[in-house]
Amino acid sequence: MARRPLPRILSTGSAQFARSRDLARTQFARGRELARTASDSASDVLHPLITITRGLRRLAAAGRRKWAEAPKEKRGPLLFMAASVILVVALVPYGPLLAVITLMAAAAWQGRDRGPAEPDGPDESQTERLRSLYEALVPYFSAAEDPAPLYTHGGEWEKALPEYEFDATGRIGRLLVRYPAYFTDGEAQARARIEHLLTTKSGRGREYRCDWDEEGNELTVTALAPLPTDIAAQRFVTAPGETVLGFTDPTGVQRTLPLTHGARQRDVPPVVWRTGIRSTEPHLLVMGQPGSGTSTLLRSVALQALQHGDVVIVEGGSTGEYACLTGRDGVLAVECGLAGAVASVEWAATETERRLIAVNRARQAGNPPPEDTRRPLWVLLDRPTVFSHLAAADGRRDPQALLQVPLRHGRAANVTVVVAEQWDAMEALSDAVRQHTRARVVLGPATADQLRSALGAPPDTTVVTGAPAGRGYARLGTGPVHRLQVPATPDPYDDATSDAHRQAVLELLPERTTPLEAAPPARLEKAPQGEPEPVPADAVVAETS
């Protein structure tokens, strides 16, 4: 049997569709060019009328301003003088015609474009900068086998760098780079070399965002504006369970917060960390070098947590960074010694187990959770690895080992753990701290490997050395990496603190309920009488399952 040929529509349908698509694109481009030409022609024809109209509007505004500034006793003579001038012009031969011509001339003079004419292209210094940047990219974007290379020594840089913008200082603010298709833009090392070269040639000391378009073989480099460092600690407009870690770029988040800066108010995009029972990242880990602002972030978190919960603070640095919180309402303990730190963390683990048992029994009885289990409990640890070394030398239990219960079951018990540590002690952190702190913050200078190991992903911006205190990156779970600037929350007892920032922190502190002389080293309450002895959390999980 002879094979029947395929229908014509099946064999030629794709070609006809491609031709119709190309024809539609051509007609669209032609129509757009025609509309642009008509708009330019209309603007050229109506330019004198637009200029005269603008001048009349400016003359009218100037007349109204003069009339408003004139005293009331002089307005009568001004009206009489204006009426006299109009009468004389009306009686003089050809007076109205000459008045109209004079008015049009004055309006044309007032309506002219007073701004300096913008150059059509870059000036000599900008051209030299773009040419040197093009020459620096030649070794990376050229190949000897390329028959029509886009990058050659002494070639045309206009084709490779079609779009560019310069800031007020003459440095590149935005740049579009086209590269050949054979460049290995899928390799991280190759992309890192190009990004380092472009950011170095464009100007040091700034952060850049590099957007790679692998499909179009284009790279867009944008210089980012520095994040505001003058935002002091204050009451943020947030819901219970929301904590503001800092502020970021407006393109990174879809929310802004109204802030007060002196006598002005402005909206700034925040990085909001959500905690509680429904949180997917219930615990936080902060990494940084000394002086990078890790203690500042913990103070900011503590002041926000005290609005709706209780706080236990364990400080391993023994520098008194949290002495302002001692004896305050809602602060259960501020510990700087080994014995107090172990007792505080052990109490937090016991309290977590007690809450789990109470919540479990209430659910089995069909009742809501008890009121004492709803109030959030925050455990803040600054440099806990210091106590780990001291505990090993003294034969005591490691406080990090006691954190396993609050870290694993803290979300169900409304217990949140925040750990701040330095880079040199990162290896000393326990596995429980690393596994259960899925919200991460890195402050201060850090290498690309450190950022990748701490955040789980590299940031989409270049790293700048010499950043101010409180400057870094934040990542909540598997979300994107955000640039971060922590609000200024210094120690109010520090002499180097400015008066404005000191007063801002003092206004946020709760009332002191215990005098400093009578304050015990730890104000941790035991479980109420009549409650059963706490059981391990694993048994509670097995009972609920």
Task: Tell me what pLDDT residue 8 has.
Answer: 46
Q: What is the mean pLDDT of residues 86-93?
A: 84
Q: For residue 482, what pLDDT band results from cuts at 50, 70 and 90? A: very high
Task: Tell me what pLDDT residue 12 has.
Answer: 45
- Residue 312: which of 294, 290, 342, 332 has the closest Cα? 332
Q: What is the mean pLDDT of residues 67-76?
A: 79
- Residue 420: which of 374, 364, 378, 370 has the closest Cα? 378
Strand partners, 266: 259
Residue at 85 is within a domain: no
Task: Specify the DSSP element, H or E, that contains 284.
Answer: strand 284-288
Task: Tell me what pLDDT residue 522 has.
Answer: 43
Q: Quote the tokens at residue 148.
A: 């029509």
Place of tokens 């502190």: 509
Model confidence pLDDT, tens digit, residues 235-291: 999 999 999 999 999 888 888 999 887 667 889 999 999 998 889 999 999 999 998
- Nearest 5 degrees, angle CA 172-CA 173-CA 174? 100
Q: For residue 513, what pLDDT band results from cuts at 50, 70 and 90? A: confident
CA gyration radius, the chain: 34
Residue 304 CA, chain-centre distance (Å), reads 19
Q: For residue 531, what pLDDT band results from cuts at 50, 70 and 90? A: very low
Within this chain, do residues 210 and 252 fall inside the same structural domain, yes or no?
A: no
Q: Which alpha helices (H) appear in 122-169, and where do they start and end? A: 124-141, 157-160
- Check the annotation: does 503 bind a ligand: no
What is each CA distance from 488 to 126, 270, 307, 504, in whole angstroms? 38, 14, 18, 9
Domain boundary among 198, 224, 250: 224
Neighbours of 168 (CB within 10 A): 6
Residue at 116 is within a domain: no
- Check the annotation: does 293 bind a ligand: yes
- Check the annotation: does 170 bind a ligand: no
Task: Tell me what pLDDT residue 541 has.
Answer: 40
Q: Is 60 exceeded by the pLDDT of residue 533?
A: no
Q: How far apart are CA 314 and CA 302, in angstroms?
A: 12
Residue at 20 is within a domain: no
Q: Averaging pLDDT over each range in 202-206, 293-297, 515-519, which range is the top one?
A: 293-297
Task: Tell me what pLDDT residue 352 has.
Answer: 95
pLDDT over 90 for what percent of the chain? 52
* 3 state SS for 414-473: CEEEEEEEEHHHHHHCCHHHHHHCCEEEEECCCCHHHHHHHHCCCCCECCCCCCCCCEEE
Q: Is 50 exceeded by the pLDDT of residue 529?
A: no
Contact partners, residue 248, CB within 8 Å, separation at least 6? 227, 269, 270, 271, 474, 482, 483, 484, 485
Within this chain, do residues 193 and 248 fall inside the same structural domain, yes or no?
A: no
Kindly report the pTM of this predicted structure. Answer: 0.72
Model confidence pLDDT, tens digit, residues 316-357: 887 888 999 999 999 999 999 999 999 999 999 999 999 999
Within this chain, do residues 347 and 220 fall inside the same structural domain, yes or no?
A: no
Within this chain, do residues 210 and 167 fall inside the same structural domain, yes or no?
A: yes
Place of tokens 């391993």: 316
CATH code of the domain containing 420: 3.40.50.300
Task: Tell me what pLDDT residue 262 has.
Answer: 63
- Lowest mean pLDDT: which of 158-162, 200-204, 365-369, 404-408? 200-204
Model confidence pLDDT, tens digit, residues 7-43: 444 444 444 544 565 556 566 666 667 767 766 676 6
CB 261 within 8 A of CB 230: yes
Within this chain, do residues 494 and 423 fall inside the same structural domain, yes or no?
A: yes
Task: Specify the DSSP element, H or E, that contains 43.
Answer: helix 8-45
| Residue-averaged pLDDT of the chain | 84
Residue at 383 is within a domain: yes
- Check the annotation: does 288 bind a ligand: yes
Residue at 93 is within a domain: no
Q: How far apart are CA 270 and CA 486, in angstroms?
A: 10
Q: For residue 121, what pLDDT band results from cuts at 50, 70 and 90? A: low
Within this chain, do residues 201 and 315 fall inside the same structural domain, yes or no?
A: no
Task: Tell me what pLDDT residue 490 has.
Answer: 93
Strand partners, 421: 287
Within this chain, do residues 431 and 507 fall inside the same structural domain, yes or no?
A: yes
Task: Tell me what pLDDT residue 61 has.
Answer: 84
Residue at 89 is within a domain: no
CB 348 within 8 A of CB 312: yes
Model confidence pLDDT, tens digit, residues 210-237: 999 999 999 999 999 889 888 999 999 9
Contact partners, residue 118, CB within 8 Å, separation at least 6? none
Within this chain, do residues 255 and 200 fall inside the same structural domain, yes or no?
A: no
Within this chain, do residues 155 and 256 fall inside the same structural domain, yes or no?
A: no
Within this chain, do residues 205 and 247 fall inside the same structural domain, yes or no?
A: no
Within this chain, do residues 271 and 370 fall inside the same structural domain, yes or no?
A: yes
Tally the domains of the chain: 2
CB 128 within 8 A of CB 137: no
Task: Tell me what pLDDT residue 317 has.
Answer: 82
Higher confidence at residue 371 or residue 117? 371
Within this chain, do residues 251 and 211 fall inside the same structural domain, yes or no?
A: no
Residue at 412 is within a domain: yes
Residue 492 CA, chain-centre distance (Å), reads 26
- Lowest mean pLDDT: which of 112-121, 215-224, 278-287, 360-369? 112-121
Domain boundary among 224, 256, 271: 224
- Check the annotation: does 530 bind a ligand: no
Write phi, then psi, for 106 (nearest 5 degrees).
-65, -40
Higher confidence at residue 208 or residue 62? 208
Half-sphere exposure of 190 (CA within 13 A, CB side): 12
Q: For residue 504, what pLDDT band results from cuts at 50, 70 and 90? A: very high
Task: Tell me what pLDDT residue 150 has.
Answer: 93
In this structure, what DSSP letter does residue 7 have? P
Task: Tell me what pLDDT residue 31 has.
Answer: 66
Task: Tell me what pLDDT residue 44 has.
Answer: 67
Q: What is the mean pLDDT of residues 158-180?
A: 91
Q: How far apart are CA 545 and CA 531, in angstroms?
A: 22
- Check the annotation: does 43 bind a ligand: no
Q: How far apart are CA 316 and CA 336, in angstroms?
A: 6
Task: Tell me what pLDDT residue 253 has.
Answer: 87
CB 316 within 8 A of CB 422: no
Q: Averaging pLDDT over each range in 41-50, 257-266, 441-450, which range is the top one?
A: 441-450
Residue at 349 is within a domain: yes
Task: Tell me what pLDDT residue 448 has.
Answer: 85
Task: Tell me what pLDDT residue 1 has.
Answer: 46
**Domain ranges, residue 298:** 242-541
Q: Strands 439-443 and 471-476, how do they pair?
A: antiparallel
CB 385 within 8 A of CB 421: yes
The total number of residues written for the chain in this structure: 545
In this structure, what DSSP letter does residue 328 have? B
Domain boundary among 178, 198, 224: 224
Q: What is the mean pLDDT of residues 53-60?
A: 84
- Residue 59: which of 108, 99, 97 has the closest Cα? 108
